[in-house]
Amino acid sequence: MVSRSETWFWEGAETLTAPALLTPAGALSYADLTTQADALFAGLPRGLVAILCDKTATTIIAYLGALRAGQVPLLLDADLQPTPLARTISAYAPEFVVAPSAVSLDGYSPLKTIGGASVLCAETASGPAPHSDLALLLPTSGSTGDPKCVRLSHRAIDSCTRAICDYLAMAPERRTVSLLPFHYSYGLSVLNITLASRASMVITDASVLSRDLWALVEAEGITDFSGVPFMFETLRRMRFSQDVLETLRCVTQAGGRLDPKLTRHFRTLFSQARIPYFTMYGQTEAAPRISYLSPEMAEEKEGSVGIPISCGTAEIAETGAATGEGELLYRGPNVCMGYARSRADVALGDMLEGALLTGDHVSIDADGYITIVGRRARFIKVHGISVNLDHVETVLKAAGHSALVVGKENRVLVLHTPADTDRLAATMVENFTFHPSVVRYTEVVELPLTASGKPDYAGASAAHLG
């Protein structure tokens, strides 16, 4: 069992009658939630639990139950295609899998059921035991099925959750809504701060364009709205009702850069309604928050992603200076233990020791405010989710395609030599869940190379992405 000192935000929840989750089937109190969570893994040996996450109470019960029982949850997208799902299960050999009842996996047998899901148990012994400090595995590229994961400790989750609760002034009367996936670090942090502050979350899979969502927001009195850039781009075209604006208490935006014009639009809209609007920055490796821009400083520090959260510090890696320009080095207890790509890696200890080289080129001003100047070249955001373009390219090449993959926010471009375009598209559909509007295919005579014979990603991007 994990000590209560390591899971501070679950302590005492067993006795609370206040609602934790408001689902289509009814409310679950904190007492109900913890009772069901504790029953799920009671008496089972410690190991890895792969959870195929959707926006249901079952996912939350499984996640909470795993943490409380000392299991190590591996959070995966329930919409992963069979091929990448099998690849990830093979890489990590989890002792247990929580999946929709219709899902079957080779080497796993049903153990028990929960809601519309089953807990599957491995039929043979797995690999090395997880490190004693390991609490959670989160994929670095949630939509592609890349097995690479971030290894997070209880300390990392706790310290980051405390800091976010503090600057957002979270309290039991607040009410959030499940707009973001739980296998996505931003969505998971919204869940964590909700439970930590004894607030409540409305569970829905409705989209921001759905009338049902906004009817639910009004009916349930949603106070907190958290979104990624594409959500706010969508919301620019809609008019918030007075009932929604009167209920909202806090709006947060993270998951990528939002166009400055849109930032000003929403800052003005929400400030007129006296609703705090926070721009935030982070990475999964930081559990996941690094900095935030408070509403009070939003106009003065426009374009900035704010100051580091209370438990961390920021500096320029090349110089160690607190101001200047260069790669951002973040230090804090919320930094992950390192990465995992297979079962063997879950036994590793802390490899980063609280220091995270973000890969982002930034400037830090005299007041400590961080502005992102450039992003890592081979990671992009697709609807707020990090996508590793190298992994996409590797999968295509393994399937026999001659391809080079580049992209920018919400755009993936596949350059390929003369071949069967339909077959290439079929491979993409088989392995990834990108919306068709995101992906474009371009035939070229030869894949672009640099003078040294390496893939010319910069040249391809400039020529085809603008």
Mean pLDDT by 10 residues, the chain (466 residues): 47 87 96 94 96 97 95 95 93 97 93 92 92 96 79 96 97 97 96 96 93 94 94 88 94 90 95 97 97 97 97 96 95 98 97 96 96 78 86 90 92 90 90 92 89 78 87
Is residue 419 helix, strand or coil?
A: coil
Task: Say if residues 392 and 385 touch (Cβ distance below 8 Å).
Answer: no
**73 strand-pairing partners:** 49
Q: In terms of DSSP bridges, do strands 19-23 and 200-202 run parallel, antiparallel, or are they unpaired?
A: parallel
Task: Say if residues 99 and 105 touch (Cβ distance below 8 Å).
Answer: yes
* pLDDT value of residue 209: 85
Dihedral angle over CA of 117, 119, 120, 124, nearest 10: 170
Helical axes 185-196 vs 57-69, angle rounded to 10°: 70
CB burial of 240-255 (b: ≥16 within 10 Å; e: otherwise) equals: beeebeebbbbbbbbb
* pLDDT value of residue 8: 54
**293 strand-pairing partners:** 279
* pLDDT value of residue 375: 65
The Cα 386–Cα 380 span in angstroms is 6
Q: If you search the block for the tokens 């374009």, which residue do you land on?
A: 303
